[in-house]
């Protein structure tokens, strides 16, 4: 732009201007990223980080909900007590099994569904909207309906099972039945959502990659494995991270599924109590905020641990792979 201006006179004037422009440009390069992330971090600091730190502080005390101003310093007692608490290990294990039961089928189905939706379809909008509809249902409404469907004596699912000669299943009191039922609610609600994310990502995979693969003689299945999956890798990572986090925080579904006081404890035998429910039980049934805060921080630390381990493993794996390649 500037070079199109002819005379030398303007050329002399131009130098400071250009300098100012480069300065501005540099400022822009350096500052803009921070400006872009500032709104997020400001709100985050005020409404998430501060409560988080406060929670850490609470976890070092004995505090009851109704008398939050009376805090008795107990240092790490809450943490050692949790470590020795059977319920904690039980909840951890349940969180794990429920996480696997609900996440793995959910993401697999979502991937398949997205693949199907990516065909050229008649009535594609209908199928897409149908797939995403469960997501529009609140946890409360979904869990209520499924609780009715899974009801022991008169529920629809047991009725259907009875048609094929299966005896009534006590969906709540049998551990694996209960975990299956709860996972069903999660899978029902989230599969379509994940499928939509995958679909959006699949649509962004450039076509020439498929063309190249087709020229190389790849079958549809091979194209799916070698083009589609790598092409939407980041989105898959996103959904895995998100459902893992969602699984660790699983709370509303088992709470409502258990109905009333039994929901808070995750069944009479804690057979489906998750860490989220344990936190809730400590905080909002036993009203021990210190212990609830401890569970929260342990959940937080566990997740960080998982991600650190995952990163280290990944790094080691790639290092090994590269050393293999060079040798």
Partner 1 sequence: MSRAHKLLRTRVVATVSAVAALGLVVGCSGGDGDGGTGGGVKDGEVTITMGLFGVMGYKETGLLDQYMKENPNVRIEAEVAGDEQTYYTALQTHLAAGSGLKDIQGIEIGRAKELADTQAAKFTDLSGVKGADHFLPWKLSQVTAKDDKVIGFGTDIGPMAVCYRKDMFEQAGLPTDREEVAELWEGDWSKYVEAGKEFKKGTKNDKVAFMDSASGLFNAMIYGNSEQFYNESGELIYQDNPAVTEAWKLAAEAGGTGLTAKLRQFQPGWDPGLANSTFATAVCPAWMLGHISEKAGPANKGKWDVAKAPKGANWGGSFLGVIDKSPVKEEAKKLVAWLTAPEQQESIFKKLGNFPSSQEALKAPAVTDAKSEYFSDAPIGKIFGEAAQEIPDKQVLGRKDGTIKDIFSQGLTLIESQGKSPDEAWKDTEDRIKKATG
Partner 2 sequence: MTTDSLPVRTDVRPQPPKDSRPARRSLRTRLRPGAGRQHHAGPLTYLLLTVAALVSLFPLYWTMVAASTDNTRVSQTPPPFLPGPHLLENLGKAWQDAALGKAMVNSFIVAGVIALSTVLFATLAGFAFAKLRFKGRNILLMLVIGTMMVPPQLSVVPLFMMMTDLGWGQKLPAVIFPTLVSAVGVFFMRQYLSEALPDELVEAGRIDGAHSLRIFWSIVLPIARPPMAVLFMITFVHAWNDFFWPFIVLDMTNPTVPVALTQLSAGYIRDQSLIMAGALLGTLPLLVMFVVFGRQIVGGIMQGAVKG
> In 3D, which of 94, 84, 100 has the Cα closest to residue 273?
94
Separation CA 69–CA 78 (nearest Å): 18
φ, ψ of residue 84 in degrees (nearest 5): -90, 0
What are the residues binding partner 1 (CB under 8 A)? 64-69, 85, 87, 147-148, 151-154, 170, 172-173, 259-262, 264-265, 268-269, 271, 284-288
For residues 100 and 81, give the distance between their C-alpha atoms in angstroms, rounded to a whole number: 27
Structure tokens at 265: 């404890």
Q: Which is nearer to partner 1, 104 or 148 (CB)?
A: 148
Nearer to partner 2, 116 or 166 (CB): 116
Q: Which is nearer to partner 2, 112 or 175 (CB)?
A: 112
Measured from the CB atom, the residue of 107 and 131 that comes closer to partner 2 is 131
Nearer to partner 2, 2 or 269 (CB): 2
Tell me if 105 contacts partner 2 by CB under 8 A.
no
Q: If we measure between CA atoms, which residue out of 326, 315, 325, 278 comes closest to residue 78?
A: 278
Residues that contact partner 2, how many (by CB under 8 A): 114
Q: Which two tokens stand for residue 104?
A: 């793995």
Is-contact 277 255, C-beta < 8 A?
yes
Q: Which is nearer to partner 1, 228 or 271 (CB)?
A: 271
Minimum Å gap between C-beta 227 and partner 2 is 8
- The partner in contact with residue 269, picked from partner 2, partner 1, none with C-beta cut-offs of 5 to 8 angstroms by kind, is partner 1
Show contacts with partner 2 in window 274-303 (CB under 8 A): 275-276, 279-280, 283-284, 289, 292-293, 296, 299-300, 303
- What are phi and psi for residue 64, nearest 5 degrees? -105, 150
Say how far apart CA 211 and CA 223 lie, in whole Å: 10
Q: Which does 321 bind (CB under 5 to 8 A by kind): partner 2, partner 1, none?
A: none
152 binds, among partner 1, partner 2, none (CB under 5 to 8 A by kind): partner 1
Closest separation between CB of residue 283 and partner 1, Å? 9
Q: What is the largest CA-CA distance in the chain?
A: 97
Of 163, 149, 140, 154, give the one whose Cα is nearest residue 263.
Answer: 140
* Burial (0-12, 13-18, 19+ Cβ within 10 Å), 75: exposed
Task: Look at residue 120 and give the partner it binds from partner 1, partner 2, none, a contact being a CB closer than 5 to 8 Å depending on partner kind.
Answer: partner 2
Footprint of partner 2 on 18-47 (CB under 8 A): 24-25, 28-30, 32-37, 39-41, 43-44, 46-47
Q: Between residue 188 and residue 217, which ones bind partner 2 under the rule CB under 8 A?
A: 188, 192-193, 196-197, 199-208, 210
Query: Which one of partner 1, partner 2, none is in contact with 314 (Cβ closer than 5 to 8 A by kind)?
Result: none
Please say whether the beta carbons of 218 and 225 come within 8 A. no
CA distance 272 to 172: 9
Partner residues linked to 67 by β-bridges: 64
């Amino acid at each position: 732009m500037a070079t199109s201006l002819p005379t030398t006179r303007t050329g002399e004037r131009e130098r400071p201007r250009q300098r100012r422009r480069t300065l501005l440009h540099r400022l822009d390069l350096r500052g803009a990223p921070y400006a872009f992330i500032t709104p997020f971090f400001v709100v985050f600091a005020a409404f998430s980080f501060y409560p988080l730190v406060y929670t850490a502080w609470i976890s070092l005390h004995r505090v009851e909900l109704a008398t939050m101003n009376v805090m008795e310093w107990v240092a790490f007692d809450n943490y050692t007590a949790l470590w020795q608490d059977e319920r904690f290990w039980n909840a951890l294990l349940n969180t794990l099994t429920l996480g696997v039961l609900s996440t793995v089928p959910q993401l697999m189905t979502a991937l398949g569904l997205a693949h199907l939706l990516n065909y050229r379809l008649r009535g594609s909008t209908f199928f897409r909207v149908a797939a995403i509809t469960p997501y529009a249902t609140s946890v409360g409404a979904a869990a209520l309906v499924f609780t009715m469907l899974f009801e022991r004596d008169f529920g629809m699912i047991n009725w259907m099972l009875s048609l094929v000669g299966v005896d009534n299943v006590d969906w709540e009191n049998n551990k694996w039945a209960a975990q299956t039922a709860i996972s069903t609610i999660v899978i029902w609600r989230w599969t379509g959502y994940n499928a939509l994310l995958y679909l959006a990502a699949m649509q962004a995979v450039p076509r020439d990659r498929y063309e190249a693969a087709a020229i190389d003689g790849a079958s549809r299945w091979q194209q799916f494995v070698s083009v589609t999956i790598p092409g939407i890798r980041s989105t898959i990572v996103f959904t895995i991270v998100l459902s893992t986090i969602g699984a660790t925080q699983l709370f509303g579904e088992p709470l409502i599924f258990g109905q009333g006081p039994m929901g808070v404890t995750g069944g009479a035998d804690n057979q489906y109590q998750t860490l989220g429910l344990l936190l809730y039980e400590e905080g909002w049934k036993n009203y021990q905020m210190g212990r609830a805060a401890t569970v929260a921080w342990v959940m937080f630390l566990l997740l960080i641990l998982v991600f650190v381990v995952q990163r280290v493993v990944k790094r080691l794996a790639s290092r090994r792979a590269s050393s293999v390649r060079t040798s």
